[in-house]
């Protein structure tokens, strides 16, 4: 797991907590912050996935399988 994936997981968790706390307390602003944190986490995860895909493609190009 790289840095982007770790950031993504952390932001998603933080967002879920804020979202749930906002619902319980009736705090719409906290709920909105939670949703934004979750979206930010999803973006970090997507960047991490893209970096992984690029790295995998580069590795395959560097080391093709001979058949």
pLDDT in tens, 21-65: 999 999 999 999 999 999 999 999 999 999 999 999 998 888 877
- Distances, alpha carbon 9 to alpha carbons 19, 28, 48, 51, in Å: 15, 23, 11, 16
Higher pLDDT: 2 or 27? It is 27
Q: Would you state the pLDDT for residue 66?
A: 56
Q: Would you state the pLDDT for residue 1?
A: 79
Instruction: Give the count of beta carbons closer than 10 Å to the beta carbon of residue 25.
Output: 10
Q: Would you state the pLDDT for residue 63?
A: 80
Q: Would you state the pLDDT for residue 44?
A: 95
Whether 13 has a pLDDT exceeding 70, the answer reads yes
């Amino acid at each position: 797991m790289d840095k982007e994936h770790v950031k993504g997981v952390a932001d998603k968790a933080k967002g879920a907590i804020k979202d749930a706390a906002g619902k319980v307390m009736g705090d719409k602003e906290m709920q909105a912050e939670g949703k934004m944190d979750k979206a930010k986490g999803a973006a970090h995860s997507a960047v991490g996935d893209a970096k992984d895909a690029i790295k995998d493609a580069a590795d395959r190009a560097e080391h093709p399988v001979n058949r």
